[in-house]
Every structure is written in C-alpha cells, then in structure tokens.
Amino acid sequence: MGSINGEESVDWDAQDSSAQEEKIFVAIRLRPLNERELAKNDVSDWECINNTTIIFKNTLQERSLLPTAYTFDRVFGFDASTRQVYEEAAKKISLSVLSGMNSTIFAYGQTSSGKTYTMTGITEYAIADIYDYIDKHFEREFVLKFSAMEIYNESVRDLLCIDGTPLRLLDDPERGTVVDKLTEVTLRDSDHLRELLSVCEAQRQIGETTLNEMSSRSHQILRLTVESEARSYLGAENSSTVTASVNFVDLAGSERASQTLSAEGCHINRSLLTLGTVIRKLSKGRNGHIPYRDSKLTRILQNSLGGNARTAIICTMSPAHGHLEQSRNTLLFASCAKQVSTNAQVNVVMSEKALVKQLHKELARLENELRNLSSLSASCASASALKEKELLIEKMDKEIRDLTHQRDLAQSRLEDLLLAGGQHRASKSWVDMNNNGKSPYTDEYSASEASEIIDPIRHDVSSRASYISDKYDPVISSRIEDQFPENNEEQFLSDNTSPRLYIDKYFGPDPCQGWEKIAQETDKNFEDNCKEVQCIEIDFSKRNVVSSEPSPENGYHVSGKSPCSSDNDASDSGIQVPRSKSCAAILTTVVNSPSSKEEKDNETTLQNEADNQGRLSNVETAADRKTVSRDESESDSMNEEEQNITTMNEDYADKQQETYVKEVKEVIKTKSVKQVQRDLEMKEERKPDSEEETADGCSGKTQDRKQSASDWHAEFERQKREIIELWDVCCIPLVHRTYFLLLFKGDPSDAVYMEVELRRLSFLKNSIRGGVSVEKDDRIFTQASSKKALNREREMLSKRMLKKFTEKEREALYEKWGIDVKSKQRRLQLCRRLWTDTTNMEHINDSAAIVAKLVGFKEAGQAPKEMFGLSFSPKPVTSLSWRHSLPSMM
C-alpha cells in the first residue's frame, strides 16, 4: 500500500485477498494539562520518552509497584498534533479501506482526555486523504457511503435520522451484525461528508460532567464504506468490486460511574467493561468465550475486535496526577489491546453481472435440487400412496374372498336345503333308512338345517294330524289298547323294525315296494313289446294288507298276508290280502250304472255302508291304494313315443311314490303312535257306532260321532280341491291325478296321504315359482318340462281313445264336452280338456273316469266298490258326477 498522499498508490492488481494477521495498532496520546488541571496545580505524571514508550514520572512519590514504563506502537506527548497522530497511528489503518480491507480506529480513554478531539481530527484527515486518493485514481470508480450511529444507554440510534428511533441489531450470515434500517448515505463528495459529520455532531448525546462540560455521553461510530471498481472493467463480466468500510469510533469516557456521578454511567460502563473484557480475553488468546454479544458496542464492532478488520486504538490520557488511576487503567487496556491480533483481508466483490451470472447458476442448482427434492418427496408420497392403495386392494381382495366364501357357503347351504327337500322326497326307501336306524335328516344335515326344513312342514302336518286326532282319538284309543295291549308306544319305539311294521299294519305295506313292482312290471311289459300306456300297478300278492275284519277274539282280526312279504309280524297276525278292483272294471261298472242326481245325496250313506261292512278300514286302506293296476290286456299297442311318455310318467310316479314313503314316515314321526292308532281305531269304532246308532237311535255319543264325521268330510273335500288345484299348477301327469284320486277313500285314513300329497305339491309349486328346478336322476322337472310332458301325455291318451271308447261313446263325450263331432283332432281336443276345469268337480270326476278307462285301470281282485270317496258300486253314487254322463256316452 502506498502513501496516502498519492505519492504511493495501492497496488490494486496485486490485492491479496488472503487474510493477514496483525496486531491491533495501539497508540497513546497524552493531552496537555487543561486549564482546570492547571488551576489545581496538578502536575503531569506521564512522559513519552520516545515514540513508543511512556513512563510514569513520579515513581518516588507513588512508591507503587505498578509498571513505570509502557511501550506501544506509538506514543504521542502533549506537543504532538492530531495530524501527527493521524499520520503515524491512524492513516495507514483507516486508508486500508481503499485497498478493500475493513478497518476501525478507536479512541479510548477517560472523559475529557481528548478522544473526540483526536477522532474528529483523524476522521477529517482520513476523509481528506480518501477523497484525495480517489481524485488521483481515476482509473477506478469509487463509491463512498456514509452512516453514523451512537450507542447510548445500550440503545443504537441513527445519527443521520432525526427521529431518534432505536435501531435493532440483526445477524447476517455474511456480514455479521447489521444495524437494521441504519441510514447509509452515498456521498457525492467530501463536502457532503463533512455536512453529514456536522449533523452527527449535532445529533450526538452530550452532557456536562464534572470533568467535561461537553462530555460525549455515548459511543459514536462513523462508518465510511468505499466501493471501487476498475473503470477498465466496468460492465465486464469478469470485473470485480472492492469494498470495505472504515469505522471511526469515539467511545464514551471510560471513567467509573462513581467518578462521573452520572446516571447513565452504568450503561456506559457496561459497553466499556464488555469492550475491556473482550479485549482482555482476546489478548490472552482465542480460547474460551468472547462476550461480544454482551453489549451493543462489541456486537457491532466484533469484526474489529480480533476479526477481519484492521484496527487501531488510540488511547488518550490526561497527564494530570489527579487522573493517575484512570490513566493507569487506560494503559492497562491499551496493553491488553496490543496483544490482540486481527485477520484483515481484502473484500473483493464480484461485479453485478458476474454476481448475477453466478447467482443464476446457483439458482439453477438450487432449483434442480428442489426439483429433486420435490421429485423425491413426490416419489415418496407416490410410493406411500401406492402402498396404501395396495394395502387397501389387499384388504378388499380379502373381503371379496370372504364374501365370496360366505356366498358360496350360503349357496351351497341353499342347494343342500333344496336338495334336502328334493332328496327327502325322492329317497328310495324309508325302510332302508330305518334299517340304518338313522333319520334321513340328521344323517345328511345339521339339526338346525333339518329343523329349518322340517319344522314348518311338521308343524303343518302335526296341526292337521292333531285335528284328526282330536276328532277321533277318544273313540280310537280305547279300542287300540284293547286290540294291541302289548304294543304300547314305548315298545314300539324300542323296536328297530317297529316303524315299518307299524306303517305296514296301519297304513299298508311299503308303497315303494309297490312302485318297484310297477317298474318291474313295466320293464316286463316293455320286454313283451307292450305298446300300451303303462300305468301304476301294485302287485297285490306282495302287499301286506291289514284287514279290520272282526276277529273271533276281539271282534276284529288282521288278515291278509303277502307271500312275498317280509313282515312276519303281519303274517303272524293272520293278515289277509284282499284284492282291489281295477279302475277299468270300476269304470265299466260305473258307466253302466244309472245316471241319477240322487246318487250324490246318497254318497255319504254308501260310504258309511262300506265302512260298516268293514271293507275299507284304515289298515286296509293302504292295500286298497295299491289295487289300481294296469290292465295288461290293454298293453299291446305302445309305440316308442308312448313308451317314452309312459316311462316319464312312471318315473314321475315313481318319484312321487318314493316321496310318499319318505313323507309318510315324516308324518308318522310328527304324529304320536297313539294318535295313529287312534286314527285307525276311529275307523274301527265306526261300525259299532253304527250299530249303536241303529239300536239307540239318537244317543249323544252318536251325535258327536256324526259331527266328527261331518267335520272330516268337509276337511277332506277342502284338501281334495286344494290338491286338484295344485296338480294343475304343477302340471302333474293326468295318470297320476287319476290314480291318486281313485286312491282317496274319503275317510280319516286318507289324511296322512293327503297331507303328504299336499306337502309335496306345495313344495313343487314353491320350487317352480322360485325358479328352482327339482332335479333327480338326471331328469329336471320344471314347469316348462312338465307342461311339455303333460301335452305329450294328452296326445298319447287321445290316441288310445279309438281303442278304449266306442264311436258312440266318443261322440257322447264330444257332445258333453262341447266338441264338434266332425271337427279335426276332436279326440285330442277332448284330451286337452281333461283335468283343466279344476273348480268343477264334475269335470274332474269325468276326467278321472276317462283317463282311468284310457289307461286301463282295473280292479285288482275283489276291490271295494267304493274307492276314495268315489262310489263304484252298482248303486247310484253321488260323488262321481262324471258317471252321470258316461252312460249316455258308452
């Protein structure tokens, strides 16, 4: 660095930005004794013996152990001018700002020691030199800025602002502590600066102390910032700006508060004490905590106290003996400051364009990082969202699997339940089940599932059975007990074979066997190329038929025993096997009977007569039900189609029969044995009652029984009509309807079978309505398939009319049924009307008679003339209205 006066110039191109460690420049300036001191005849204790050493002169008087000589960078006696002080102690440091280094010139000393006096001069000289230098270095462009502040009572005030608002201190990462909103004025020239200095002087807090009438009560900091740039590089991207500040610091008096007797002494000393502490610590090395932040002064001037600013401290002293202690303290402070090192460096600032360019690069880098962070964050967020969705999907999948499983279970259960209904109706033989000693329900289903199926049916059947039982139990029970004294309920239940025997006894033999026999017969007929429509046949010779013929012992005996029956009990009982009439024979009889309206009125009477004759007891009912067989003589002209239809009918009938077996068993289970027995007994009771009635005429007992019989017939008619309706709805084959209708006897023994038929039809109806197909043996029975089969059956029946009816009979039928005798397909028209008017019992009965004749139903032996409420006796009966028309037709 060259001389300030321009003789030497700063080597700007050789600026070294590297830090340069140097000690704080410390100088001592003694002022002359002022008038006050002279007035007190005070003497000067200090003397500068050379440019660097100051000594205490009155050592003999003080007899102090304190040092007597102090050496500093420069010492100035009372005859040194401020210009000299500046030149030798402050110029070099202060003009460092021109070379780009921060610098600070302190004036430290007790009040009235000459700090302001010295600093004012130094500042003026520095400014003058700076501007002089600028004027001589046109190759560079300089910008000078000026700011001024004071710290009074630890409050920072802008000396260039008149409002006196305290300013805050901010911490800037690059610049250190910054005074917020401090006015910084860009200087036009030196005069401008001098004007501002005058403002600052006017603004500064001053007061009168015991030592100084114009004492500066604050710390003043004047800051001049110099920015310079080589003019040759102006606007160039590679240009750079050198910038630095020089602080001119005029501290408040360092005297003790007790000495100044001023109120603000404490605050003043706070900053000074902190400054002393900082200097002291710094003088002892950089170890430990440096309390810069304990005062505003040290915070603001931190860079100048052991930082990167070149620093010079000019300690002013009063030589008067009266201020010896303060002088010694000043020397002590100066001694410490002398040990403090700083690391000043040139502050090279890039040009704005270069800075902008660099900032753009930095911005791009930061934006890239931000994008990466955003991308990473988004990626993390996406991954998190994806993970959540995967978990959600997994959870939903599990729910779907669970629901699907539940659905499948429910569906399976439903199918099981439906199959339960179908299976328990289509079971081959309840006998087999009983032989296993198991319930068909509990074997295949859980108790609850079986209960769901059975309970409603059981309840219904039980109610109906109870109705019947209530009507007849009182009559039957005593008779049963008399007839079967050993066969009490407990024994029955303990006998593994009892159920079947019981059913065989009181409801006839296993109907399934009969159907199996029918199948065998059908097969045989097929083998014989029988072309006739097959119908149900019961081999009576294999049936256990329990007759209620009066026995010599008790008035009744069980007679009739099939040679093929395995029921030895029945054989032992001497069961006889009566044979029923075939429907054909019946029909022949009927059609030959006179047609009379009075027959209907006599129906009940005839029925009672049949009962009285003991020919249609409960126990023989089952046997009678099996007396309907196919007229083999008629089975000689069945073509293949007829066989198919017949087979279907037989299959269907077989299924129905199997169903009966199962459901009869169920009914038996729902009715107590005693109830069944009583039902049977009731029938037996009727003969003696009739006799009693005959004898007594009109006893009370007879009246009750008449009432019971009346109730039963009403119930019978109701159920029969219900069954007929359901046959139509379910498209039941006409052969089956006819067969079943002929089985009805019109007495309590029909109850169980009617219950079974009703239950089966109800199930079938509900299944059809619910769209459920009843599947069995690969054959699906739906309403559509049943209708189709029914139509085919009608066609088959129509073909048989030529054989079964004479021309005269056919014409009579056409006329009765409103069919033109000359119309085409009149036989088919007739058959298509069979069983269609379900509310017209005359129509139903006529249909049954026609079908019976067409399919060749005939009596199987000595069948009763009355079957099922249909009187086939030669005598006029009222129940078969169809008979009324047939005689005229045949």
Ligand X SMILES: Nc1ncnc2c1ncn2[C@@H]1O[C@H](COP(=O)(O)OP(=O)(O)OP(=O)(O)O)[C@@H](O)[C@H]1O
Binding site for ligand X (CB under 6 A): 31-32, 34, 109, 111-117, 209, 212, 214-216, 252-253, 316
Q: Is 115 annotated as a binding residue?
A: yes
Cα 454 from Cα 276, distance rounded (Å): 109
Q: Is 494 exposed, middle or buried (0-12, 13-18, 19+ CB in 10 A)?
A: exposed
Describe the strand order of the beta sheet including 69-71 as a list of residue ranges.
Answer: 46-48, 53-56, 69-71
Using the minimum distance from each CB to ligand X, give the nearer residue, 198 or 529.
198
- Using CA atoms, how far residue 455 sits from 234, 329, 451, 722, 874, in Å, is 109, 118, 5, 22, 45
Using the minimum distance from each CB to ligand X, give the nearer residue, 76 or 146.
76
Shortest gap between Cβ of 81 and ligand X (angstroms)? 8
Residue tagged 């005062």 (tokens): 295
Q: Is 113 annotated as a binding residue?
A: yes
Using the minimum distance from each CB to ligand X, give the nearer residue, 109 or 306.
109
Cα 71 from Cα 27, distance rounded (Å): 9
Using the minimum distance from each CB to ligand X, give the nearer residue, 116 or 283.
116
How crowded is residue 168: how many other Cβ atoms within 10 Å of its Cβ? 11
Using the minimum distance from each CB to ligand X, give the nearer residue, 253 or 876.
253
Give 373-437 as a 3 state SS string.
HHHHHHHHHHHHHHHHHHHHHHHHHHHHHHHHHHHHHHHHHHHHHHHHHHHHHHCCCHHHHHHCC
Whole-number CA gyration radius for the chain:
68
Shortest gap between Cβ of 212 and ligand X (angstroms)? 3
DSSP 320: B
Shortest gap between Cβ of 78 and ligand X (angstroms)? 6
Cα 178 from Cα 418, distance rounded (Å): 93
Shortest gap between Cβ of 321 and ligand X (angstroms)? 17
Shortest gap between Cβ of 220 and ligand X (angstroms)? 10
Determine the residue with CB nearest ligand X. Answer: 114
Shortest gap between Cβ of 94 and ligand X (angstroms)? 18
Shortest gap between Cβ of 261 and ligand X (angstroms)? 13
Q: Residue 684 in contact with residue 548, Cβ under 8 Å?
A: yes
Using the minimum distance from each CB to ligand X, give the nearer residue, 157 or 843.
157
Shortest gap between Cβ of 205 and ligand X (angstroms)? 10
Q: Is 542 annotated as a binding residue?
A: no
Taking alpha carbons only, the member of 254, 290, 287, 291 closest to residue 269 is 254
Q: Is 112 annotated as a binding residue?
A: yes
Q: Residue 69 in contact with residue 55, Cβ under 8 Å?
A: yes
Using the minimum distance from each CB to ligand X, give the nearer residue, 109 or 748.
109
Using the minimum distance from each CB to ligand X, give the nearer residue, 328 or 799.
328
Using the minimum distance from each CB to ligand X, give the nearer residue, 326 or 347.
326
Q: Where are the alpha helices (DSSP H) in 730-867?
A: 734-743, 750-769, 783-804, 807-816, 826-833, 841-855
Cα 717 from Cα 517, distance rounded (Å): 31
Using the minimum distance from each CB to ligand X, give the nearer residue, 111 or 617.
111
Q: Is 471 annotated as a binding residue?
A: no
The pair of three-digit structure tokens given for residue 9, joined into one six-digit string: 């110039």
How crowded is residue 492: how many other Cβ atoms within 10 Å of its Cβ? 17
- Using CA atoms, how far residue 481 sits from 282, 474, 503, 580, 600, in Å, is 131, 12, 17, 29, 37
Taking alpha carbons only, the member of 565, 584, 578 closest to residue 629 is 584
Shortest gap between Cβ of 30 and ligand X (angstroms)? 8
> Do the strands 25-30 and 74-76 form a parallel or antiparallel pair, or are they unpaired?
parallel
Shortest gap between Cβ of 63 and ligand X (angstroms)? 29
Shortest gap between Cβ of 253 and ligand X (angstroms)? 4
Using the minimum distance from each CB to ligand X, give the nearer residue, 253 or 514.
253
Cα 641 from Cα 650, distance rounded (Å): 14
Using the minimum distance from each CB to ligand X, give the nearer residue, 267 or 776.
267
Taking alpha carbons only, the member of 556, 511, 549 closest to residue 668 is 511
Secondary structure of the chain: what % helix, strand, coil (to 5)?
A: 55, 15, 30
Q: Where are the alpha helices (DSSP H) in 540-698?
A: 568-572, 583-592, 598-601, 603-612, 618-625, 640-670, 673-696
DSSP 251: P
Shortest gap between Cβ of 26 and ligand X (angstroms)? 17
Beta bridge partners of 780: 775
Using the minimum distance from each CB to ligand X, give the nearer residue, 265 or 306.
265
Shortest gap between Cβ of 214 and ligand X (angstroms)? 6
Backbone φ and ψ for 869, nearest 5 degrees, come out as 80, -5
How crowded is residue 694: how many other Cβ atoms within 10 Å of its Cβ? 10
Inter-axis angle of helices 750-769 and 640-670, nearest 10: 110
Using DSSP, state whether 74 is helix, strand or coil. strand
Using the minimum distance from each CB to ligand X, give the nearer residue, 112 or 621.
112
Shortest gap between Cβ of 73 and ligand X (angstroms)? 18
Q: Is 109 annotated as a binding residue?
A: yes
Using the minimum distance from each CB to ligand X, give the nearer residue, 330 or 618.
330
Q: In which region does residue 460 sit, left (phi positive, over 0), alpha (psi from -120 to 50) or beta (all else)?
A: alpha
Shortest gap between Cβ of 246 and ligand X (angstroms)? 20
Residue tagged 């009918």 (tokens): 649
DSSP 253: P
Q: Residue 763 in contact with residue 425, Cβ under 8 Å?
A: yes
Q: Is 783 annotated as a binding residue?
A: no
Q: Is 68 annotated as a binding residue?
A: no
* Numbered residues of the known binding site: 109-116
* Numbered residues of the known binding site for ATP: 109-116
